[in-house]
Amino acid sequence: MSKPTFRERLRYRSDQFFQSGFTLQLFISSIIIIAVIVLFFAVVEIFQIDPGPDYGANPSSDEGPYWPSVRLWWVITHILETYWLETGTFSQILATMLTLFNFLVFAAIIGLVGSRIQMRLEQLKRGTSRVVEDEHIIILGWSGKVVPIIRELQTGLEDRKQVYVLFTERSIDDVEEMLRKSFGRRGSPRWVIRQGSMTDMKDLQLLSIERAKSIIILQRDHGSDRGDAQVVKTIMATAHIIENGTDAGQAQPSIIAEIEHPSMVRLARAAAGKSSVSIVEPLEQLSKIILQTARQEGLVDVYDEILTHSRNELHLTPVRDAVGQSWEDTMFSFPKAI
């Protein structure tokens, strides 16, 4: 294989420059500007360029010839300004070259700052800042179930201030558009969208999982063994963040995970460790509901009554005083219960 040519080396170095960070680009640009100033200053000193009376010095006066600092200032002003008029031909050529370099310098600086601002706007679109919320509900993964889940939570919780943090690998603009179409702009729930990988610890730490109310981990629209494996990995990462991020005595958020295959349920519970996890098997549970409603006429009305948010509802309340009591004592502890 032939050795790289000078043009290829130069192109490679320029690519490395544009791929480097903003600080390094600004540093390299400053070095180039200083090098050009030193080069032109050396030329001016060697050829004894006459800066002219605009610089407050006269070589024919008792002050003697121009000091080097005067010629250095002459070079700098021609880089920063463009209106200085020279008398000699060589001075005019040199001043023109400095003026052209002036255009290149400021164009490069404006380009660097503009690209930095554009990069920052792209980061804001991707949602790379940390979520600063408490008691928020986190939904990991995007599927067709997200909108119905948020709608049911809004109706059931009856809390318009509830914040929903949606974490997905899809584009934030696409998710935002779908949510706007589903909920509209007036009366829509409060949501925060972040983009990243469900199994990346750095991405998950941006969601403030340890301060959340609950974490819902969803499958993709088309579940598979690989989807279950991703859910298990997400449970493991989420549980690790909760265990390391919560203090002793602090209430930990609950984890609700969707598993397609029953064979993965045991592994999912083991991945949660000491954290509380509720496994939902949609296919298994839906099959059981269909079977029971087929065997018992009218059971579908019972399910409809319990699961809807109109008429009678089903709510669970923890009763710590009932721990250790018999069933009879527990029943008499609620005299107004039906």
DSSP 265-300: HHHHHHHHTTS-EEEE-HHHHHHHHHHHHHHSTTHH
Nearest to 264 by CA among 211, 319, 303, 225: 225
Nearest to 74 by CA among 93, 46, 89, 52: 52
Q: Are 162 and 137 in contact (CB under 8 A)?
A: yes
At 167, is the secondary structure helix, strand, or coil? strand
How far apart, in whole angstroms, are the C-alpha atoms of residue 248 and residue 274?
13
CA 270 to each of CA 121, 223, 253, 282: distance values in angstroms, whole numbers, following the listed order: 41, 21, 17, 20
At 26, is the secondary structure helix, strand, or coil? helix
Q: Are 142 and 170 in contact (CB under 8 A)?
A: yes
pLDDT of residue 118: 81
Angle, helix 22-47 to helix 89-126, in steps of 10 degrees:
180
Q: Which residue has the tokens 């006269």?
A: 58
Nearest to 242 by CA among 285, 200, 273, 281: 273
pLDDT of residue 234: 93
Q: Are 224 and 264 in contact (CB under 8 A)?
A: no
- Fold observed for domain 10-126: Helix Hairpins (1.10.287)
At 24, is the secondary structure helix, strand, or coil? helix
Nearest to 98 by CA among 86, 113, 87: 86
At 255, is the secondary structure helix, strand, or coil? strand
Q: What is the pLDDT along the chain (338 residues), one digit of tens a residue?
A: 567 787 877 777 776 766 666 777 777 778 878 888 888 888 877 777 766 655 555 555 555 455 566 777 777 776 666 555 556 677 777 777 777 777 777 787 788 788 878 877 777 666 778 888 889 999 999 888 899 999 888 888 777 789 999 998 888 888 888 888 888 777 678 889 998 888 888 899 989 999 999 999 998 765 455 788 899 999 999 999 998 887 767 788 999 999 988 889 899 999 998 888 999 988 888 888 888 888 888 888 888 877 777 767 777 777 877 888 888 888 888 877 76
- 163-168 and 137-140 beta bridge pairing: parallel
How far apart, in whole angstroms, are the C-alpha atoms of residue 218 and residue 307?
20
Q: Are 237 and 159 in contact (CB under 8 A)?
A: no
How far apart, in whole angstroms, are the C-alpha atoms of residue 52 and residue 38?
20
Token readout for 338 is 């039906």
Token readout for 11 is 């192109």
- The structure's pTM equals 0.65
pLDDT of residue 246: 75
Type of residue at 254: S
Token readout for 143 is 């599927």
CA 25 to each of CA 22, 28, 31, 102, 104: distance values in angstroms, whole numbers, following the listed order: 5, 5, 10, 18, 15
Q: Report the run of H or E that residue 117 belongs to, with start and end.
A: helix 89-126
pLDDT of residue 64: 47
Strands (E), the chain: 137-140, 163-168, 190-195, 214-217, 254-258, 277-280
For 175, residues 6+ apart whose C-beta sits below 8 A from its C-beta are 142, 166, 168, 193
| Assigned superfamily of 137-280 | NAD(P)-binding Rossmann-like Domain (3.40.50.720)
How far apart, in whole angstroms, are the C-alpha atoms of residue 193 and residue 173?
9
